Amino acid sequence: MRPTIARSLFRSLTRPIPNPSPPIRRLAITSSTSPPQIVRSFTSSSVLSKKNKGSQPKSAKAKIRAHDDDEAGGADAEGEGEVVIEEVVGKAKTKMEKAVHWARAVIFEGVERGRGRVSPALLDSVRVDVQDMPGSSHLNTVASVTVKGNTLFVEVYDTSYIKPVESAIHGANLPGISPQRMSESTLKIPIVRPTVEQRAEILKSLSETVEAAKQQIRTARTDGFRALGGRKANGTDEVQKVVDEMVKDLDGQLAAAKKEFEKV
């Protein structure tokens, strides 16, 4: 019996063992959201309030003193305003008067030429540029003008002035005036009675002169308005009154010149 037992025991030991069941996997479950946090807000149960302290009423003396100060300050401001207006109007008037005086001199000179009269005043509008003198100089400062018959003679004080003086007379574009050089220091200008065409040209030149003077007046008015603070500011009426007076003066001079030309 022993060999049989041994054989059966050997078979049981050599029989294959079935595969064990797979291990159970444990899944770790994690929460994607964190637990809600509790936020506690603390509010004050009491509200603090501040009382606005109003200004204390002024005494009778303080009120009188403040009233006097206000009146004094207002009077000072008004006085300063009047001074500023007077200064602005004065400056504007000075500029306008210069324009009117210049136009008056040119008109007088033109009337003299239109009449055919020979006078040194015919060259009053000539301005000469000389190197050793600043700006433009009046002809009388560099030369003398004399009359002989129907001819003007211009004699310069320095021979170096002869060319600038001759150029200045040509550049003045005076109708019927053409200088001729006689020597290194003397120019001769024959004056002939102007023709009808020349008188018309002179009158046209005078009209342009008056318009140029009016433009200078308007420029002075604009500067005055700007200095006062605008067209509707205080003092602009005074400036406009000066403008009207100057323009009326210019129109009167031009009208008188036209009448003189009609007489010729």
For the cut 90, the answer to whether the pLDDT of residue 152 exceeds it is yes
Q: Which of 1-10, 13-22, 39-48, 234-243 has the highest mean pLDDT?
A: 234-243
Please name the fold of domain 86-116+194-264: Topoisomerase I; Chain A, domain 4 (1.10.132)
Q: Once rounded to an integer, what is the mean pLDDT over residues 81-86?
A: 72
What are the strands, taking DSSP E only, across 182-259?
Answer: 186-190
Residue 8 has a pLDDT of: 54
Residue 4 has a pLDDT of: 52
Residue 119 has a pLDDT of: 84
Q: Once rounded to an integer, what is the mean pLDDT over residues 198-215?
A: 92
The rounded distance, in Å, linking the Cα atoms of 114 and 201 is 10
Q: Could you tell me the residue ranges of all domains in the chain?
A: 86-116+194-264, 117-192
CATH architecture of the region 117-192: 2-Layer Sandwich (3.30)
* Dihedral sign for Cα atoms in the order 197, 203, 205, 211: negative
Residue 230 has a pLDDT of: 85
pLDDT category at 185 given cuts 50, 70, 90 is very high
Q: Once rounded to an integer, what is the mean pLDDT over residues 79-108?
A: 85
- 3-class secondary structure, 136: strand
Domains 86-116+194-264 and 117-192 share a fold: no
Counting beta carbons within 10 angstroms of the beta carbon of residue 209, is it exposed (0 to 12), middle (13 to 18) or buried (19 or more)? Answer: buried
